[in-house]
Each structure stands twice: as C-alpha cells, then as structure tokens.
Homo-oligomer: A and B are copies of this chain.
C-alpha cells in the first residue's frame, strides 16, 4: 500500500500539501494511519505541471522523509496541478523506474493498490499491448502496466472509459488464468488540464480516498488520508467512483469495469 496526494487549483507551493502540514504526505510516509502498513519508505515521486504541457518528474528510491532535495523542491516549486506519491512496495524492486507517478507525454498516473496474482497474468497483459505502448515499458510494476493498458484503451480521448476498459482487461486476464480477480485501484491521473481519480476494488477493500477544498482560492485536494488529523472538511469518496476535478468544479460518477471489446469477425 502506498499513500498519495493530488491538487488542482490556484498555484500553491508543493510544500503546502507535501511536506508542511501536520499530517502531510511526508508525515504519512512515516506513520500512515489508514494503510495496512504505517511505513511507506520505498521511494517517492512528484509530477507537477508548470510552464510546459508535459509534467516535471522527480523521483528517488530514498524514503521521502530523508531526502533534502525533495524538501527544497517542495519549498520552491509552485504549481496549480500536481501529483505526489510515497511508495510501499508490494513487489517490484525499489528502483526509480518503479516509482510512481508514471508519465507519458502530457499524462501522469499514480496508484495505490495492486493487481493480485500479477505474476500469473503479467505476460498476457504485456503481450496485448500495442507496439508503441509496449516500447514505453521501463520497469516491472503492475502499476506501470496498468497505465500502459489505459493508454492503449484510449486514455487521451476518454479517461473514465480507458480506466474502465483497462480494469476489465485485468479482470478478464485473471479469469482466463483461472483465478478470482483481485484488483485494488485507488489512482489519480491527469493530462495537465483536469485531474481524475478512481476508487475501486474487486472486493470490499478499495483503498481509501478523501477530498477537500484546499484554502480559499477554490483549489481542491485528493488524498489517501486527510491532511489534518482533526478538523478540516474532508469528504470520503465512496468505492466504485470516478472523480473529475476541473477549474470549474468536481464531479463524482459511478465507476464499473466496462466489458472488453472483442474484435468481431463479420
């Protein structure tokens, strides 16, 4: 299990969410309260949008709490849209290639949860990728592969549909491999304009997700756990939801896997 935070709104210093508050993401890397394990020390990653269409990316394999670079960057960089992630490995080595967020062009993606039985379906899922998308594979994690599945399923034009169809492919591959699907997916994604998130699981244990207005400027946060332990106006996102935040507000829609499209012979 990992912890993550995402923000869209007026530009704020990253530290306002990532390092400064009492239960900031960094604090959660040390002592998470709603995760199976309190420690998320297997690396971290930041993706932030600024003057370029594609995001900046800073990731390392140190625990977030002991990296002075991270602290300095969060103190200096202002952004109106960013994703930040601290990792607790569920498999996959501790390497920079395996740190979320993953990025592709304008898109960024980060994930809390896992694909159960991944080792039994990894190859089938990789084989089904288009050549272009396959060539983007840099690491070995289930999360990166899920991101690639989403790209192949039309992420650019239809984010919710792409997540939904990628979810269905994982479920389908699990059944074909002869085991009950066991996917947990609390993830965020962005194209630099909108911020999306999904909370879903094939069982009753979808990893937690909360949202709150952040400050007066109309910004909004999504987080694995609330930033402040008491107070604040944090709203839990229900399981099987897809959240979209834009400059104009937030919508929460039901989320379900979409049946895999089959190529039909005519």
CB distance from A121 to the nearest CB of B (A): 12
Chain A residues touching B, range: 35 or more
The residue on B at minimum CB distance from A48 is B76
Contact of A97 among B65, B95, B127 (CB under 8 A): B95
Instruction: Judge whether A78 is part of the interface by a CB distance below 8 angstroms.
Output: yes
**A61-B62, A134-B123 are contacts. A76–B51 as well, Cβ < 8 Å?**
yes
Dominant secondary structure of chain A at its interface with chain B: mixed
0/1 string, A48-74, CB within 8 A of B gives 1: 101110011111111101101100110
Given contacts A30-B39, A119-B135, contact A94 B66 (CB under 8 A): yes
12 other A-B residue contacts (CB within 8 Å) besides A13-B51, A93-B97: A41-B63, A42-B63, A50-B76, A55-B76, A56-B73, A58-B69, A61-B62, A62-B94, A95-B96, A97-B97, A127-B127, A138-B140
14 contacts between A and B (CB under 8 A): A30-B39, A39-B39, A41-B41, A50-B77, A52-B75, A52-B76, A56-B76, A61-B62, A66-B89, A68-B93, A93-B97, A95-B96, A122-B135, A123-B131
